[in-house]
Amino acid sequence: MKDKRELMERITQLYKKLTGGEPQSIVPLAGAGSNRRYFRVVGKDSLPTLIAVIGTNQEENEAFIDLAKRFKEGNLPVPAVYAVSEDRMVYLQEDCGDQSLYALMNEHRQADGTLDEVALDALKATIRELPRFQFLPVVSQTASEFFAKCFPQQEMDRTSVMFDLNYFKYCFLKLKGVEFNEFKLQQDFELLADDLLMERDETFLYRDFQSRNVMLKEGKPYFIDFQGGRRGPIYYDVASFLWQSSAKFTDEVRDQLIAEYLHALNDQLSVFQGQAPIESTLFKRRLHLFVLFRILQVLGAYGYRGLWEKKAYFANSIPLAISNLQKEVSLGTCDRYPYLRNVAQMLIAPNAEEEKSREQDEAKEAKVAAYLKNDATYLKQGEKSPLVVNVYSFSFKKGIPADESGNGGGYVFDCRSTHNPGRYEEYKPLTGLDQPVIDFLEADGEIITFLDSIYKLVDFHVARFLERGFTHLQISCGCTGGRHRSVYSAQHVAEHIHEKFGVEVHICHREQNITQVLK
């Protein structure tokens, strides 16, 4: 399936076999951290729109297909699998839409970082479903059959725990250059593994239960990417969901969601097993052990992806994960593992300096915002700002856009350091304004980090130009062809400036002959 034409033909034939008709279009979707490829197959007329999945491992595909069938039989909200190729490498599943819970949270995060009621309601609805997934093997009384096809293994055992702990050791600590006594750390890892595995459960461990793997369809959560699930303890998924670094949950929100989870969990225990309810304090005590484990596991992944593969999104997520580790140290979660606590403290000290620097940057931005809100005379009087910002996208092959205002200055940003969609056939006819290209660019986080740096520069510049009554600023974003990365970047910079400062912004995607004015 290396050839794109062959790939499209296989999807088309599977779709025709299922529906009896040709698809209208097959559109690539942004991938995640795996090698699986996703396509939206849009049907003609009344034929359904489905998602085609191209896997690289037959056993992994079989795990998803089998689990999806069992979850559907248990009336759980997962995408139905409608058709599977003979070699089990391609399958068609239900389309659960484009909005993830993670995206909803970002849309409904307020200026102070807190989540509004819409986001909180969606989070509560999501975590209430978790015990139903976890206890389905128990409820259906088919645990041995349920876990038979799990990939790459059937349960969270000592081998998998030690793999994750050593992942942290070799892919984070070693790459960070942290000096440590490997023998002493291994002793604490062995003890931590004993504590994590002290109970053998017949419950399902989703493994990747996080907001990016929850889709919202007609306002209801649907769950995807569970092919790595296996037998394991219930605490792991709660830790994974509530301590996801990029979610930035406050302790208050976590407590609310834990309460929702425990209510749903105790309903499961009471109805199907006749057990007494699990008390909140006892649950949290054991939960924090898995929070510690999950943080170490995540740091291992961030180290490999960020420090070794140099992917900016993962590298930039490291301080957030270490902040979570600091909280666990302060709570005493590491006290039973004294050498691990010492290693954690070695990570926390330099991270505190990075946090201080970040807070200083945020304070500067706050001062600019306060100035614009309270001190700018033209804003107080309701007068229109004299400043007009021109934002261009362009191809370096055709030269940097001329500044026709005569003022000179401004910025030219080179977007060619980020991953280029133009290298792939499916994206070549599209531009940085099209959703598949946007998803591609945002998937690894490089372009987001790149733009964050641009925003800091242009925010300061715009604020000073407003203060001094200047009338013109030009910003240009260039890439190889002026079609994908530069268009995406210029559009986002223009919208950011307009939204934050309310000034008039003229957008010109030069090579695409597209213009727009934001007033």
CA distances from 117 to 102, 113, 394 (A): 15, 13, 41
For the beta sheet containing 23-29, the strands, ordered from the edge strand earlier in sequence to the opposite edge, are 23-29, 37-43, 50-54, 90-94, 81-84
Q: Considering only CA atoms, which of 47, 45, 61 is closest in space to residue 18?
A: 47
Among 355, 299, 353, 359, CA closest to 325: 299
Question: How far apart, in whole angstroms, are the C-alpha atoms of residue 118 and residue 130?
Answer: 19
pLDDT at 431: 94
Report the pLDDT value the prediction gives residue 378, as an integer from 0 to 100: 35
What is residue 465's predicted lDDT score, i.e. its pLDDT?
Answer: 86
Confidence category of residue 469, pLDDT binned at 50, 70, 90: confident
Secondary-structure class of domain 4-94 per CATH? alpha beta
E-state strands within 115-265: 204-205, 214-217, 220-223, 230-231
pLDDT score at 33:
56
pLDDT tens track for 206-265 = 999 999 999 999 999 999 999 999 999 999 999 999 999 888 899 999 999 999 999 999
Contacts of 75 (CB under 8 A, 6+ apart): none
Q: Break the chain into its structural domains and give their ranges.
A: 4-94, 98-157+200-278, 158-196+291-375, 376-518
Topology match between the domains 4-94 and 98-157+200-278 = no
pLDDT recorded at residue 34? 62
The helix/strand count (H/E) of the chain reads as: 17, 14
Rounded to whole angstroms, the Cα distance separating 32 from 37 reads 9
pLDDT tens per residue across span 86-117: 999 999 999 999 899 999 998 898 877 789 99
Tens of pLDDT, residues 14-73: 999 999 999 999 988 876 556 788 999 999 889 999 999 998 899 999 999 999 999 999
Tokens encoding 110: 């307020």
CB 440 within 8 A of CB 427: yes
- The order of strands in the sheet holding 411-414 is 411-414, 472-479, 388-395, 504-509, 514-518
Coil, strand, or helix at residue 120?
Answer: helix
Beta-bridge partners for 231:
155, 204
As a whole number of Å, the end-to-end CA separation of the chain is: 48
Residue 334 and residue 292 in contact, taking contact as beta carbons nearer than 8 Å: yes
- CATH number of the domain located at residue range(s) 98-157+200-278 in this protein: 1.10.510.10
63 and 107 in contact (C-beta within 8 Å)? Answer: no
Burial annotation 226-265 (CB, 10 A radius, 16+ → b, else e): bbbbbbbbbbbbbbbbbbbbbbebeeebbebbbebbbebb
- Greater confidence, 134 or 6? 134
pLDDT at 362: 55
* pLDDT computed for residue 87 by the predictor: 94
CA angle 383-384-390, nearest 5°? 160
